[in-house]
Structure 1
Amino acid sequence: MLTSLSIKNYALIDNLQVDFNNGLSIITGETGAGKSILLGGLSLILGKRADLSSLKDTTQKCVIEAVFDVSNYNLKTLFEAEDFDYEAQTIIRREILPSGKSRAFVNDSPVNLNSLQLLGERLIDIHSQHQTLQLISNDFQFQVIDALANNNELLQSYALELKAYKKLQKELQELLNFQDEAIKEHDYNTFLLNELVEANLIEGEQQALEEEYETLNNIEGIKEKLSVSYQLLSDEQIGILTSLTTIKNNLKNIAAFSSKYEDLFNRVNSSLIDLDDVFNEIDVLQDGLEADPSRLEEVDSKLKILHNLMQKHIASDVSELIKIKNELDDKVAVTESLDKTIAKKQSEIETKTNQLKIISRKISKKRSEVVPQLKEQLETILVNLGMPNAQFKIEILFCEQFFASGQDELSFLFLANKGGSFNELKKAASGGELSRIMLAIKSVLSNYIQLPTIMFDEIDTGVSGEISNKMGDIMLQMSKTMQVFSITHLPQIAAKGHSHFKVFKEDVNEVTQTNLVRLNHDERIVEIAQMLGGVEMSSSAIAHAKELLN
């Protein structure tokens, strides 16, 4: 419920601070006194867009702040979803700066207007005679029926299942689309894969093949160089090994004389061991070298295949070709296994469809059961509101399609007068009748669910005294379970309120200002008497006002 409202520098309001109670609060005032300004300021709190024309003094910022007691509204989930700081006493502040920029805060944390609107819809419902579009909405009509049917838990289960069902459908469609594209590419991908498979790719083989190719391609030159090296090392007269052996023996004879000679001996001996190892390896390499034209051709062919594949796939080495082969292998495998995957997904959708239908039928059954009850309650209320011939024709039709709130199609028809025919609400009811129907529906709803604060903005326009008395009784009854505001020109309704506020204009230092004050009992008598008989109050008007208040 709205517990307090503060408005500074907005339109004709300089500085307004007012506290509100639970129950039925009445707001009255002469035409043009500024009731619409008050509603405009409240709308900004609920997320309406603002502009500089809202500022009374364009050099100062406009600040509107409202405090709500949200402890009974089950809003913690919404606060978490929108990343608001939850407080039982929630403060919403809206600021309009002289630059034209607007800022909004929930419990001192900045929020965007979309989030503020979501919260605002759960806090205050402003209803006027011209705002009845909600009434003719199928979604709203279902909300009314579901409130009476106590379908909340079933609808939550249905929503979860529907979300999962739509996710599965999306995944299936993606698979089917992928299959269409994959089939087109399958043959080509298979051809590319086979090329790479036939190449028998081995990590690091390119370097080995290139070395083998160079060896086979230069076999005679290599053999010649190895042979010369072998001779230089092994010649019995002047060979390097023979000479180095002589040097080693000479140094060995003098090694004992000094550590310097011993060091020379060790170094020469080490070199001799290394050269001897080189000699043996040259000998082995010579024995293994043979010209092999067929192997050379084979290596050359394999290298050409690798180079062509790397050029074709824009790869820098064999490891990249292996990676590409694996990717193609996956694509081909996925394409070939798509039928099984699609069949599995279709089976999951079928299971989910059956689960949805089970929940939908339960929802539909409970809706159908409460339709007669809703019809009777609405028609009874409308009789008291001066519509004795009003009738509703509400039909629930179960169909195959899954909608946001079940599988039902709703026909919500209305007949205002005898001899007429049932038609849609927007065609069968006038503006005033729609307002009374909305009042009746809100009255019924208030018995079943926790409604937000509701503000009726002159929905009693054009209504007679007796009917307005009944409207006041309905608002009073509603206020037992929720906070209700009524902006009214009718004394019969004004007298029903637990609290009474008056909007008025006054000139301060030759500047017109709008203000709002709470009236005490005596002030209420005067206000209601003026509503009955004008500014020049008669004793009978005062007596009538007292009678209404009592």
Structure 2
Amino acid sequence: MITSLSIKNYALIDSLQVQFSQGFSIITGETGAGKSILLGGLSLILGKRADLSSIKDVSKKCILEAVFDITNYNLKKLFEANDIDYEPQTIIRREILPSGKSRAFINDSPVNLNVLQLLSEQLIDIHSQHETLQLVDDSFQFEIIDAFAKNDGVLKTYALHLKEHKMVQKELDVLLKFKAEAIKEYEYNSFLLKELTEANLVEGEQEVLEEEYETLNNIEEISESLLHSNQLLSNEETGVLSILNQLKSNFKKISPYSNKYQNLFERMDSSFIELDDVFTEMERLQEQLEADPERLEKVNSKLLLLNNLFKKHLVSTVLELIQVREVLSEKVSETENLDENIQKKEKELKTKNEALNKLSKELHDNRTKAIPKLSEQLETILKDLGMPNAKFQISLNYGNTFFTNGKDDLSFLFTANKGGQFNELKKAASGGELSRIMLAIKSILSKYKQLPTIMFDEIDSGVSGEISNKMGQIMLQMSQYMQVFAITHLPQIAAKGHTHFKVYKEDVENVTVTNLKKLNHDERLVEIAQMLGGIEISTSALAHAKQLLN
């Protein structure tokens, strides 16, 4: 509910500050006194776009501020989602600068108009005779029925399941799309994987194979070289080992005579040992050496295979080929497991469908039960409001599509005349009739859900005295559950309010300004008497005013 309003330097308002209370508040004033200015200022606070013409004194900024008690509005999540500090007493402020730019703040946090409008929708509903488009909107019509059917809990559960259903459906669509694309590549990827798998790749094998190939391919040359080298080392007369052995013997004899000879002897001995070891190794290599054309062919084939695979996959090592094989293996595996994953998702989707169908049916059944009672109550209220022949024909068609609020298609038809043809509200009802229908609907909704503050702007235009009395009574009843304002010209409605404010103009230092004043009992009596009989208050008008107030 709105608890206070402050307006500075706006239109004909120099400075205005007013406190509001719970219940039913009346706003009256002569035509042209500035009620529209007051509503305009409030609309700016609620997110309407501003322009420089709104400023009274263009050398100063215009400031509009309202305080709302939002304790019972369950708006913490909205504040968190928009990164705004939540306060039970929330302050909304608009500033229009002399430059024409405007700024908006919620609890001193700067916000854009979209956020401000999002919040304001939850705070105040300004309703005039010409603002009944909401009535013909399907979502609002469902809101009426669901409030009456007490579907709030089921709708929340349904919304949660619908969100999960959409997520699973999206995942399934991705899998199906992937499968359609993957099938095209599956056979080719499987062929490449098979080729790499059958190659029995081993990291580092290329170097080993190349060495083995060189050995087998040059075995005769290697064998001859080893044989000749052995002869050079081991010949009894001219071999290196034999000659080195003789040198050792010569120096062994003289080594006791000098360290120099001893050192030379030791070096010769080391050389002999090393050459003897080389000879032994060459003998072993020669023994192992064996021509193997079949093995040579196998090694050559494997090297050719590796080189072909290098070219095909644009790599240069066996390790890179192994990495390519692993990637292909994952792709093929994903494709092979797709059907299993798709089946799992389809099963999960079926479960979600069953849950949504159950909830949709519960919503449908609750609505079906509620519609006759809702129609009856609406028709009863409208009868009191001067529409004795008003009839509703509300029906549901349980379809196959999951909408945001179930599977129902809604037909909300109306006729204002006895024996008249049922039609859509916007075609079957006049502006004044739509206003009364909206009043009837809001009065019913107020009993079943937390509604924002509602401000009826001359909704009673063209209404007779007795009907206006009924209108006032309905608004008064609504104010038991919510904060209600009525801008009115009718004394029958004005007398119903808990508090009464008057909008008026006055000249201050040769400048006309608009102001708003809360009336005490005596002032209120005079205001209602003037509404009944004009500026010159008659005794009968005053008596009538007292009667209305009592």
TM bin (shorter chain): 0.7 to 0.9
Question: Do structure 1's residue 331 and structure 2's residue 331 form an aligned pair?
Answer: yes
Q: Distance in 2 between matches of 1:10 and 1:274?
A: 110
Asked whether the 8 Å contact 2:67–2:92 carries over to 1, the reply is: yes
Asked whether the 8 Å contact 1:95–1:103 carries over to 2, the reply is: yes
Q: Distance in 1 between matches of 2:530 and 2:261?
A: 134
Could you tell me which residue of structure 2 aligns to residue 503 of structure 1? 503
Alignment of 1:97-116 (within 5 A): 97-116=97-116
Q: Which amino acid aligns with 1:157?
A: T
- SS of 1:451's partner is coil
- For residues 485-520 of structure 1, what are the alpha-carbon distances to aligned partners after superposition, in whole Å with 9 as ceiling and x for unaligned? 112222221222112222334444555443323222
Could you tell me which residue of structure 1 aligns to residue 186 of structure 2? 186
CA RMSD of aligned residues (A): 3.7
Report the CA distance between 1:226 and its aligned residue. 6.8
Could you tell me which residue of structure 1 aligns to residue 90 of structure 2? 90
- SS of 2:504's partner is strand
- For residues 159-193 of structure 1, what are the alpha-carbon distances to aligned partners after superposition, in whole Å with 9 as ceiling and x for unaligned? 12222222222222222222222222222222222
Q: Distance in 2 between matches of 1:110 and 1:240?
A: 99
Q: Distance in 2 between matches of 1:532 and 1:265?
A: 144
Q: Distance in 1 between matches of 2:436 and 2:22?
A: 23
Could you tell me which residue of structure 1 aligns to residue 163 of structure 2? 163
Alignment of 1:240-319 (within 5 A): 284-290=284-290, 292=292, 294-319=294-319
Asked whether the 8 Å contact 1:454–1:483 carries over to 2, the reply is: yes
Asked whether the 8 Å contact 2:244–2:272 carries over to 1, the reply is: no
Structure 1, 242-251 or 528-537: larger mean CA deviation? 242-251
Could you tell me which residue of structure 2 aligns to residue 465 of structure 1? 465
Structure 1, 306-315 or 346-355: larger mean CA deviation? 306-315
Q: Residues 150 and 220 of structure 1: is their aligned pair in 2 closer, same or farther, counting only changes over 3 Å? A: same
- SS of 2:73's partner is coil
Asked whether the 8 Å contact 1:189–1:328 carries over to 2, the reply is: yes
- For residues 128-173 of structure 1, what are the alpha-carbon distances to aligned partners after superposition, in whole Å with 9 as ceiling and x for unaligned? 1111111111211111111121111111111122222222222222
- SS of 1:326's partner is helix
Q: Which amino acid aligns with 2:18?
A: V
Structure 1, 436-445 or 103-112: larger mean CA deviation? 103-112
Asked whether the 8 Å contact 2:494–2:528 carries over to 1, the reply is: yes
Q: Distance in 2 between matches of 1:530 and 1:357?
A: 61
Structure 1, 341-350 or 417-426: larger mean CA deviation? 341-350
Q: Distance in 1 between matches of 2:32 and 2:272?
A: 118
Asked whether the 8 Å contact 2:241–2:272 carries over to 1, the reply is: no
Larger Rg: 2
- For residues 180-229 of structure 1, what are the alpha-carbon distances to aligned partners after superposition, in whole Å with 9 as ceiling and x for unaligned? 22222222222222222232222333343344445555666766777788
Asked whether the 8 Å contact 1:248–1:268 carries over to 2, the reply is: no
Report the CA distance between 1:242 and its aligned residue. 8.3
Q: Distance in 1 between matches of 2:207 and 2:549?
A: 105
Q: Distance in 1 between matches of 2:207 and 2:497?
A: 96
Asked whether the 8 Å contact 2:502–2:516 carries over to 1, the reply is: yes
Could you tell me which residue of structure 2 aligns to residue 124 of structure 1? 124
Report the CA distance between 1:389 and its aligned residue. 0.9
Structure 1, 410-419 or 315-324: larger mean CA deviation? 315-324
- SS of 2:455's partner is strand
Asked whether the 8 Å contact 1:245–1:272 carries over to 2, the reply is: no
Q: Distance in 1 between matches of 2:92 and 2:73?
A: 16
Q: Residues 223 and 148 of structure 1: is their aligned pair in 2 closer, same or farther, counting only changes over 3 Å? A: same
- SS of 1:396's partner is strand
Q: Residues 470 and 336 of structure 1: is their aligned pair in 2 closer, same or farther, counting only changes over 3 Å? A: same
Alignment of 1:145-544 (within 5 A): 145-216=145-216, 239=240, 284-290=284-290, 292=292, 294-544=294-544
Asked whether the 8 Å contact 1:397–1:409 carries over to 2, the reply is: yes
- For residues 298-352 of structure 1, what are the alpha-carbon distances to aligned partners after superposition, in whole Å with 9 as ceiling and x for unaligned? 4444334333333333335333332332232233233333333333322322222
Structure 1, 210-219 or 412-421: larger mean CA deviation? 210-219
Q: Distance in 1 between matches of 2:246 and 2:156?
A: 98
Report the CA distance between 1:466 and its aligned residue. 1.7
Report the CA distance between 1:381 and its aligned residue. 0.8
Q: Which amino acid aligns with 1:377?
A: Q
Q: Distance in 2 between matches of 1:298 and 1:206?
A: 13
Report the CA distance between 1:388 and its aligned residue. 0.9
Q: Residues 3 and 220 of structure 1: is their aligned pair in 2 closer, same or farther, counting only changes over 3 Å? A: farther
Q: Distance in 2 between matches of 1:517 and 1:410?
A: 46
Report the CA distance between 1:361 and its aligned residue. 1.8
- For residues 423-469 of structure 1, what are the alpha-carbon distances to aligned partners after superposition, in whole Å with 9 as ceiling and x for unaligned? 11111101110010000011011111111111111211121222111
Structure 1, 159-168 or 340-349: larger mean CA deviation? 340-349
Q: Which amino acid aligns with 2:448?
A: Y
Q: Residues 416 and 330 of structure 1: is their aligned pair in 2 closer, same or farther, counting only changes over 3 Å? A: same
Structure 1, 24-33 or 472-481: larger mean CA deviation? 24-33
Q: Distance in 1 between matches of 2:127 and 2:245?
A: 114
- SS of 1:419's partner is coil
Q: Distance in 2 between matches of 1:370 and 1:75?
A: 28
Asked whether the 8 Å contact 1:26–1:488 carries over to 2, the reply is: yes
Could you tell me which residue of structure 2 aligns to residue 10 of structure 1? 10
Asked whether the 8 Å contact 2:247–2:268 carries over to 1, the reply is: no
Q: Distance in 2 between matches of 1:261 and 1:34?
A: 130
Asked whether the 8 Å contact 2:251–2:264 carries over to 1, the reply is: no
Q: Which amino acid aligns with 2:319?
A: S
Asked whether the 8 Å contact 1:241–1:272 carries over to 2, the reply is: no
Q: Which amino acid aligns with 2:313?
A: H
Q: Distance in 1 between matches of 2:263 and 2:62?
A: 98
| Unpaired stretches in structure 1, ≥5 consecutive residues | none
Q: Residues 148 and 203 of structure 1: is their aligned pair in 2 closer, same or farther, counting only changes over 3 Å? A: same
Structure 1, 429-438 or 320-329: larger mean CA deviation? 320-329
Q: Which amino acid aligns with 1:26?
A: I
Q: Distance in 2 between matches of 1:35 and 1:216?
A: 108
- For residues 216-248 of structure 1, what are the alpha-carbon distances to aligned partners after superposition, in whole Å with 9 as ceiling and x for unaligned? 556667667777887888788885998699899
Q: Residues 180 and 38 of structure 1: is their aligned pair in 2 closer, same or farther, counting only changes over 3 Å? A: same
Number of aligned residues: 549
- SS of 2:49's partner is coil
- SS of 2:459's partner is coil
Q: Residues 537 and 180 of structure 1: is their aligned pair in 2 closer, same or farther, counting only changes over 3 Å? A: same
Q: Residues 437 and 238 of structure 1: is their aligned pair in 2 closer, same or farther, counting only changes over 3 Å? A: same
Asked whether the 8 Å contact 1:46–1:117 carries over to 2, the reply is: yes
- SS of 2:482's partner is coil
- For residues 524-549 of structure 1, what are the alpha-carbon distances to aligned partners after superposition, in whole Å with 9 as ceiling and x for unaligned? 23333333334444444344333322
- For residues 111-144 of structure 1, what are the alpha-carbon distances to aligned partners after superposition, in whole Å with 9 as ceiling and x for unaligned? 3433333322211111111111111112111111
Q: Distance in 2 between matches of 1:267 and 1:11?
A: 116
Structure 1, 37-46 or 121-130: larger mean CA deviation? 37-46
Report the CA distance between 1:385 and its aligned residue. 0.7
Asked whether the 8 Å contact 1:473–1:496 carries over to 2, the reply is: yes
Q: Distance in 2 between matches of 1:290 and 1:386?
A: 119
Asked whether the 8 Å contact 1:87–1:107 carries over to 2, the reply is: yes
- SS of 1:486's partner is strand
Structure 1, 237-246 or 104-113: larger mean CA deviation? 237-246
Q: Residues 322 and 433 of structure 1: is their aligned pair in 2 closer, same or farther, counting only changes over 3 Å? A: same
Asked whether the 8 Å contact 2:251–2:261 carries over to 1, the reply is: no
Q: Which amino acid aligns with 1:471?
A: M
